[in-house]
């Protein structure tokens, strides 16, 4: 295999993984606050549509991405209202959010089917992009690929190095203690839901603005569920989300290339590989943590009721 093809493959892996990085971080920040949001798929596709529509109107990439984030956050706020204010079951609410997001985007997006988003310029990083192999593979991408790594860094710094992040994690670990200490559990969780919704929206927008670039209903095709699996895969750590997303992207892209080389594996095995990898990691995690309890946030998915 020549180096040019190899660098093209690495380039494609980064592109295929980027929506998963954003959506995975969006799920992670909510789960760290103790919120299990199964609506990631719905948030992604609503963000995908919002970003696409704004890009069609001729706005620059940054504006389209912000619109996607706002759309995701707006829809997520509905989830927040249901779960935090109405104390609705988070599992059912999350599933409803996915179905609602898919339906809403299909309805609102029907008129945009068949249109193309304007092309996004590639940022060639000076000097670095001239290095053979490495330049094409890592330093000749659209801005959002760099943005996803920046986002992971910011999320990591916020959660692990900042005081508000510590509070957020405390809420996720034990909401009753956090409440007793005077923190607003519902307020913090709501902010986490907004941030997570925004990140999921950006992940969806990456599909419509850069990866395909088009909009059709249902085009997230299960990536929201992979993002949820990724968070478990990453044992709730931001940089492991990146590693996990790249691993998923790698499985996808390498299987496509192996087919084009004439190495054939039954198509069903290929399509289940990413999910198989998740199951294996889950087994590994639970085996490793045997007797030590859950590795996830202790209050994850539990409804918080103020008991005065």
Which residues in this chain contact other proteins in the complex, by CB under 8 A?
A: 5, 8-9, 12, 15-16, 19, 106, 109-110, 113-116, 119, 207, 211-214, 216-221, 223, 252-253, 256-257, 259-268, 270-271
CB 220 within 8 A of CB 42: no
- Which are the contacts of 275, defined by CB distance < 8 A and separation ≥ 6? 226, 229
CB 240 within 8 A of CB 233: yes
Tell me how far, at minimum, the Cβ of 204 lies from other proteins, in Å. Answer: 10
Tell me how far, at minimum, the Cβ of 112 lies from other proteins, in Å. Answer: 9
Q: Which of 5, 179, 208, 32 is nearest to 120 (CA)?
A: 208
Q: Which is nearer to other proteins, 196 or 204 (CB)?
A: 204
Q: Which of 25, 21, 27 is nearest to 40 (CA)?
A: 27
CB 195 within 8 A of CB 26: yes
Residue whose token pair is 């990413």: 274
For residue 75, is it left (φ>0), alpha (ψ between -120 and 50) or beta?
alpha
- Which are the contacts of 186, defined by CB distance < 8 A and separation ≥ 6? 84, 85, 304
Q: Which is nearer to other proteins, 144 or 171 (CB)?
A: 144
Tell me how far, at minimum, the Cβ of 244 lies from other proteins, in Å. Answer: 17
Tell me how far, at minimum, the Cβ of 52 lies from other proteins, in Å. Answer: 12
SS3 200: helix
Q: What is the CA radius of gyration of the chain?
A: 20
Tell me how far, at minimum, the Cβ of 230 lies from other proteins, in Å. Answer: 16
Q: Which is nearer to other proteins, 257 or 302 (CB)?
A: 257
Tell me how far, at minimum, the Cβ of 90 lies from other proteins, in Å. Answer: 26
First-residue to last-residue Cα distance in the chain: 67
Q: Which is nearer to other proteins, 37 or 252 (CB)?
A: 252
Tell me how far, at minimum, the Cβ of 110 lies from other proteins, in Å. Answer: 4
User: Number of C-alpha atoms within 13 angstroms, CB side, residue 14?
Assistant: 20
DSSP element (H, E) containing 123: strand 123-124
Q: Which is nearer to other proteins, 157 or 261 (CB)?
A: 261
Q: Which is nearer to other proteins, 12 or 192 (CB)?
A: 12
Q: Which is nearer to other proteins, 114 or 182 (CB)?
A: 114
Tell me how far, at minimum, the Cβ of 208 lies from other proteins, in Å. Answer: 9
CB 212 within 8 A of CB 101: no
Q: Which is nearer to other proteins, 57 or 264 (CB)?
A: 264
């Amino acid at each position: 295999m020549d180096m040019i093809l190899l660098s093209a493959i690495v380039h494609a892996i980064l592109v295929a993984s980027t929506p998963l990085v954003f959506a995975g971080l969006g799920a992670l920040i909510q789960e760290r606050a103790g919120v299990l949001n199964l609506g990631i798929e719905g948030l992604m596709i609503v963000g995908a549509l919002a970003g696409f529509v704004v890009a069609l109107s001729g706005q620059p990439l940054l504006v389209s991405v912000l619109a996607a984030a706002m759309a995701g956050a707006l829809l997520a706020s509905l989830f927040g209202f249901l779960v935090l204010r109405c104390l609705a079951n988070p599992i059912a609410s999350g599933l409803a959010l996915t179905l609602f997001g898919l339906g809403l985007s299909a309805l609102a997006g029907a008129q945009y089917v068949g249109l193309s988003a304007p092309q996004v310029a590639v940022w060639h990083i000076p000097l670095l992009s001239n290095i053979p192999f490495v330049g094409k593979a890592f330093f000749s991408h659209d801005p959002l690929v760099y943005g996803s790594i920046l986002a992971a860094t910011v999320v990591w710094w916020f959660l692990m190095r900042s005081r508000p992040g510590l509070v957020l994690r405390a809420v996720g670990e034990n909401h009753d203690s956090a409440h007793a200490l005077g923190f607003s559990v519902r307020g913090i969780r709501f902010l986490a839901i907004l941030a997570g919704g925004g990140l999921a929206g950006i992940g969806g927008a990456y599909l419509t603005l850069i990866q395909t670039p088009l909009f059709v209903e249902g085009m997230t095709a299960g990536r929201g569920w992979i993002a949820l699996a990724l968070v478990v895969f990453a044992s709730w750590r931001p940089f492991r989300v990146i590693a996990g997303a790249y691993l998923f992207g790698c499985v996808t892209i390498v299987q496509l290339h192996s087919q084009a080389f004439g190495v054939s594996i039954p198509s069903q095995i290929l399509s289940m590989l990413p999910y198989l990898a998740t199951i294996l990691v889950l087994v590994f995690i639970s085996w490793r943590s045997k007797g030590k309890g859950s590795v996830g946030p202790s209050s994850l998915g539990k409804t918080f009721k103020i008991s005065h």
